[in-house]
Amino acid sequence: MYDIAIVGGGVAGRSAGIFTARAGLETVILSADESILARNAHLENYPGFPGGVDARTYLELLREQAAEAGCTTVADRIVAVTPRAENPSVTPREDGSPEAGFVLEGENESYAARRVIAASWPDSEYLTPLDVGRRQRGSKHVVQTAETGRTAVDGVYAAGRIADEPHQAIVAAGHGSKVALAAVQDSETAFYHDWVAPAGYFTGRDRDVPPACEEIDDAERRRRDERARERLRDALAEPNDERPTMHPNVDRD
């Protein structure tokens, strides 16, 4: 059984996955469609890219980062989420956990997870078996949440646009990360901050390095910096020839 199942592989979903996986939670991202950000012609308001960045290149880097953090990605469309106790169709791994969790029914197969993060704008129909509280917004529905992304159902969260957050990539990334941290907290995983500090930052004050933190020496810092610059050079060396996805309502003929 997965610790976290994230429905939606866009900016909010993969940002959430980076944090849950780095916290040591077994995370699966279930995604059937490309991110709506793929419709963007050029991403120009994302902090850290003063000249902007090709949206498809950004999404490729995000997918790579989530994978390196430890996320598993499965291409499947989720059609229903039910409490595991009410749906015995999946027999998850038994490891003594008292948390019953949920069954996510996909078009291809079913999945079991202790916690679910919905990040699948505009689709939220699969949540109707759960009384999470959906509100109509135009022709679509958003999920009602607390500030942390928690819904009315314990163990179910919503992140990004589906949680009625603004339709901006940086907001989706930030909210997905914030919701992930709520899920990490609820899992009772030992966690302080996801923070890489210079050697001595904690131990130099006679403190143990807190959970999810790390101290690295200067040689390791330089090694990681070189690797990061090399990855960016490779990603940005050539133009991305993939064209933006047009809005489905536009006649392409």
Rounded to whole angstroms, the Cα distance separating 137 from 86 reads 30
| Residue among 154, 47, 26, 160 at smallest CA distance from 93 | 26
Per-residue model confidence (pLDDT) at position 92: 47
Per-residue model confidence (pLDDT) at position 137: 86
Same domain, 228 and 161: no
Residue 241, domain member (yes or no): no
Per-residue model confidence (pLDDT) at position 88: 53
Look-up: residue for tokens 């009315």? Answer: 152
Same domain, 95 and 206: no
Same domain, 120 and 179: yes
Q: How many CA atoms lie within 13 A of 187 on its CB side?
A: 26
Same domain, 135 and 204: no
Same domain, 82 and 118: yes
Domain end marker among 125, 151, 186: 186
Same domain, 180 and 204: no
The reply to whether omega before 122 is within 30° of 0 (cis) is: yes
Amino acid letter for position 43: L
Per-residue model confidence (pLDDT) at position 139: 86
Instruction: Say whether pLDDT at 253 is over 70.
Output: no
Per-residue confidence band for 246, with pLDDT thresholds at 50, 70 and 90: very high
Per-residue confidence band for 97, with pLDDT thresholds at 50, 70 and 90: very low
Per-residue confidence band for 94, with pLDDT thresholds at 50, 70 and 90: very low
Q: What is the pLDDT of residues 190-234, one digit of tens each?
A: 999 999 999 999 999 999 999 999 999 999 999 999 999 999 999
Please give the C-alpha separations between residue 207 and each of 185, 204, 211, 213, in angstroms, as whole numbers.
22, 7, 12, 12
Q: Which domain holds residue 52?
A: 2-186
Rounded to whole angstroms, the Cα distance separating 193 from 22 reads 11
| Residue among 96, 86, 132, 102 at smallest CA distance from 4 | 102
Amino acid letter for position 1: M
Residue 242, domain member (yes or no): no
pTM of the full structure: 0.93
Which two three-digit tokens encode residue 248? 């489905």
Per-residue model confidence (pLDDT) at position 185: 97
Please give the C-alpha separations between residue 221 and each of 206, 215, 228, 229, 232, in angstroms, as whole numbers.
22, 10, 11, 12, 17
Number of domains observed in the structure of the chain: 2
Helix H segments across 118-208? 169-186
* Helix or strand holding residue 15 (H, E): helix 11-22
CATH code where residue 67 lies: 3.50.50.60
Per-residue model confidence (pLDDT) at position 100: 85
Same domain, 114 and 42: yes
Assess contact for 181 and 19: CB atoms under 8 A. Answer: yes
Assess contact for 104 and 110: CB atoms under 8 A. Answer: yes
- Return the beta strands (E) in 87-237 as ranges: 102-106, 110-118, 134-137, 140-143, 156-158, 195-198, 213-216
Residue 250, domain member (yes or no): no
Rounded to whole angstroms, the Cα distance separating 30 from 106 reads 9
Q: What is the pLDDT of residues 21-74, one digit of tens each?
A: 999 999 999 999 899 999 999 999 999 999 999 999 999 999 999 999 999 999
Q: What is the pLDDT of residues 103-135, one digit of tens each?
A: 999 999 999 999 999 999 999 999 999 999 999
